[in-house]
Amino acid sequence: MSSEYKLNDCPTDGISAVKFSPTGSQFLLTSSWDSSLCLYDVAANSQRFRYDESSPVLDCCFSDPVHGWSGGLDGSVTAYDFNVGKQTKFGNHNEGVRCVEYCPDEGLVVTGSWDSTLKLWDARSNDCVATCPQRGKVYALAVCGSKIVVGTSGKGIEIADLRNMQYLKMQRRESSLKYQTRCIKAFPNKEGFVLSSIEGRVAVEYLDMAPQVQKKKYAFKCHRVKENGLEYIYAVHAIAFHNKYSTFATGGADGFVNMWDGFNKKRLCQFHHFPSAISSLAFSSDGSVLAIACSPLYSANVDAQQEGGEDAIFIRHVTDAETKPKTVS
């Protein structure tokens, strides 16, 4: 049976991201619209560090177990050393930094901004090594081995190989979903990615452009509720992959988390209703724990935003029954 509890000392405004340490399930990094970046010891249910920034923090990541990065609404890019509790601003975008991800294969931190650029940072020297113009504002970003998948305004999807730093070629696609991209995450096997939109849909896509591979891509509806003959459609804000089973969780503005078997096109389960919209999800590296962030700021219902609801992070110890693909006869 799953066990679940709420973290103590949660951020007090929209929680923009939760990310587990790359080597375990003990430490969780969070960013928030309350202008904080926090490091939690999940096992002890305590806040280890809190860093206050000058503007809301829109995303964060670990580059290794003791170093982190964040991007701010003011365009700032900040690095953190958790060994000594130090924070250092290393650069800027011209507008808010929506996405921050680490590419371990190349030792690069990638930041994506509403100024329609990507910047690549050497995680060891913290230097900016490249600036890459995009077709539109960067809304979502995923690392897929040595490649990155970027979702931009206008339904643009850009795919780039970070191994060629002198000329970062972009493979350009258009999202198969009708509306704005909300989140992108890569399959653990690095063969493809899953993206979600504001219209309650998720698409499963593949990097290989061979026709026989592209035939496997598909999209499906989720986070929709029918009541009294009406269908209510909710944005899918969050996706998180289980590294062991390659199943994935989705979180929506409806306050629900669903688990999916993408290869067999089945929903495995739905968790209970959370107190407000799901804003971010993260599995620990071993897949034993799921962090679930919820915030009324991410609700499509303006009344719900104004009336409150809870900014909270829940830690759920998941089971195989919830996350492992069912045997297909």
Residue-wise pLDDT for 236-253, tens only, equals 999 999 999 999 999 999
Output the six-digit token pair for 32: 């928030």
Residue 295 included in any domain: yes
**Number of domains into which the chain is organized:** 1
**Pair of tokens at residue 319:** 């089971």
Residue 46, CB-side half-sphere exposure with 13 Å CA sphere: 2
Mean pLDDT along residues 126-138: 91
| Residue 201 counted as domain residue | yes
* Chain centroid to CA 207: 19
Cα 253 from Cα 187, distance rounded (Å): 23
Query: Considering just the CA atoms, what is the radius of gyration of the chain in Å?
Result: 18
CATH number at residue 24: 2.130.10.10
Does residue 10 lie in a domain region? yes
Q: Among residues 39, 36, 40, which one has the least CA distance to residue 57? A: 36
Residues 6+ apart with CB under 8 A from 148: 101, 103, 110, 118, 141, 142, 159, 160, 162
Q: Compute the distance between CA of residue 202 and CA of residue 220 in angstroms, rounded to an integer.
A: 6
Bridge partner residues of 153 (DSSP) = none
Query: 304 pLDDT band (50/70/90 cuts)?
Result: very low
Q: What average pLDDT does the segment 82-91 reach?
A: 91
Region 277-283: mean pLDDT is: 97
- Amino acid letter, 11: P
In this structure, is residue 77 part of a structural domain? yes
At 216-240, the pLDDT tens digits run 999 999 998 888 889 889 999 999 9
Give the Cα separation of 203 and 192 in Å (integer). 11
Task: Give the structural domain span for 72.
Answer: 3-323
Q: What pLDDT was estimated at residue 306?
A: 46
DSSP category for residue 304: H
What is the pLDDT averaged over residues 168-192? 88
pLDDT tens string 195-216 = 999 999 999 999 998 999 999 9
pLDDT at position 307 is 52
Residue 67 in any domain: the answer is: yes
Domain membership flag for residue 213: yes
- 329 inside domain: no
Residue 328 domain-assigned (yes or no): no
Tell me how many helices (H) and strands (E) the chain has: 3, 30
pLDDT score for 229: 86
**Using one digit for the tens of pLDDT, what is the confidence trace for 26-74?**
999 999 999 999 999 999 999 999 999 999 999 999 999 999 999 999 9
Confidence check: pLDDT of 268 > 50: yes
Assign 5 a pLDDT band (cuts: 50, 70, 90): very high
Tokens of 112: 């994506």
The band of 305, judged by pLDDT with boundaries at 50, 70 and 90, is very low
Q: DSSP label at 44?
A: T
Q: Closest by alpha carbon to 194, among 260, 111, 277?
A: 260
More confident residue, 170 or 120: 120
Question: What pTM does this model have?
Answer: 0.94
Strands lying side by side in the sheet with 138-144: 138-144, 147-152, 156-161, 170-174
Mean pLDDT value across the chain: 92
